[in-house]
Structures are given as structure tokens and as C-alpha cells.
Amino acid sequence: MKRPRESAELFILAAGVTFAVACSGPGKYVWVDDYAESGQVEKPYVIVPGDILQVRVFNQDQLSTRARVRSDGKITLPLLDDVTAIGLTPVELGKQLHEGLRSFVKDPLVTVSVEESGPPSVYVIGEVVKPGGYPLDRASGVLSALVNAGGLTQDASTDRIFVLRQAPSAVRIRFTYEALVRLAGRAPAFRLRPGDIVVVE
């Protein structure tokens, strides 16, 4: 039986592989030196595995609960059993629960808040020694992610290192190992974000 952390990592890695395949192909990437960061627009928080959610149903204490988002992206709630929470904002989940509870409660007023968020992580897959998820700090760049993953394998293409970034729109950003270690161009200053996936081909 897989531990929750392992299952969560497999879930994210599978999503990363799917995203990588979708973004593959000639011309469907941008070199890091040409990558233009879009304006930082504050976006609503999206629920991830490991988050602890407070679900409140007004005047229905028996339906209100505190739940951790499991590695399969779901939470268990009274009457509704397993409900998918991953990928939704708290407001979107509240609306979904409102609809689900209408069969049991007349016009339920549901609020969802994130009581505790899961730790930010990045994922490193492909031709690295130890693929998997790794904690992300504010100063994390691509090279530090590769070091955490044990470095490149002998079969790695040193000029085919990509960061898959899904927000605000899907993009595949290409790096070379030489630029990272020689501090050339914009590669060393590039900062990873939570949910980024580093792929070494």
C-alpha cells in the first residue's frame, strides 16, 4: 500500500507527464532567455493535496467539518461521502457542496476556507537520478532542483531541460545545463514556482 505522500507525488507526476506530452513537439517551447514573465495577477488559491479545509454549513453543525485533502484529491464529508476538492478554489468547492447538499438541506449556505495549506513543492522527472517531488523555497532555481534530484543521468540531454509551467497559461521553457552552471544568460536567475515541473529529456 502506497503512503499518502508517495501517492500524491505519483498523482502529480502523472499529471506532469500528461502535460509534457501535450506540450511536446517542435516549436512548442520557449528558450528561457526569450521567456517573458506575464504580469503577476493575484489569482485565487487552488486546493492541493495536503490542504486542511474548514467546511461550514450555516445552522447545520452536524454537517460542518474539518477535512484534509487526500492524495487522491478528495475529502470525505457527512452525507456526501467523497468529494473532489483538488484543482478547485474554496469558493468553487463551496458552490459544488451547496448543490450537493440541496437534496438534504433547504438552500444550504456553505463556506469553505483553507485552514492549513500543503507545503509548496516542485517536481523533477525524466533523466535524473532521483525523480520526485521536492520542497520549494523562495530562492529555488532549476539548478538547485536538479541537485536535489541527484543530478543528471548519463543518458540525459544537457540541452533539453524544460520547466513546465501551467499558470497563467501552459508553457514549456527550455534550458541548457551549460547555461545553468556557467551562470550564462537568464537561466541562473530563473525562479521556480509551486507546481512547476522540471523535465530532463
Which band of pLDDT confidence, cut at 50, 70 and 90, is reported for residue 153?
very high
Chain segment 179-191, per-residue pLDDT in tens = 999 988 999 999 9
pLDDT in tens, 33-82: 888 876 555 567 788 778 899 999 999 999 999 999 887 889 999 999 89
CA distance 183 to 94: 46
Residue 23's pLDDT band, with cuts at 50, 70 and 90, is very low
Contact 47, 118 (CB under 8 A): no
Cell 535524473, located at residue:
128
pLDDT of residue 41: 54
| CA pair distance 129, 145, nearest whole angstrom | 12
Q: Which long-range contacts (CB under 8 A, 24 or more apart) does 180-185 make?
A: 180/141, 180/142, 180/143, 180/146, 181/143, 185/32, 185/33
Confidence (pLDDT) at 138: 67
* Neighbour-count burial for 43-71, b at 16+ CB within 10 Å, e otherwise: eeebbbbbbebebbbeebeebbeebbbbb
d(C-alpha 86, C-alpha 164), whole Å: 19
Instruction: Report whether pLDDT(131) > 80.
Output: yes
Q: How far is CA 145 from CA 33, 51, 137, 180, 186, in A?
A: 19, 23, 10, 11, 16
Q: What is the pLDDT of residue 25?
A: 46
Q: How close are the terminal C-alpha atoms of the chain, in Å?
A: 30
* For range 101-115, the mean pLDDT: 92
User: How far is 34 from 28, CA to CA, in rounded Å?
Assistant: 13
- Give the pLDDT band (50/70/90) at residue 145: very high
Nearest to 195, CA basis, from 35, 12, 23: 12
Residue matched to cell numbers 517531488:
133
* Residue of 173, 192, 182 whose CA lies nearest to 33: 173
Residue 14 scores a pLDDT above 70: no
**Average pLDDT rounded to a whole number, residues 171-198:** 90
Give SS3 for 142.
Answer: helix
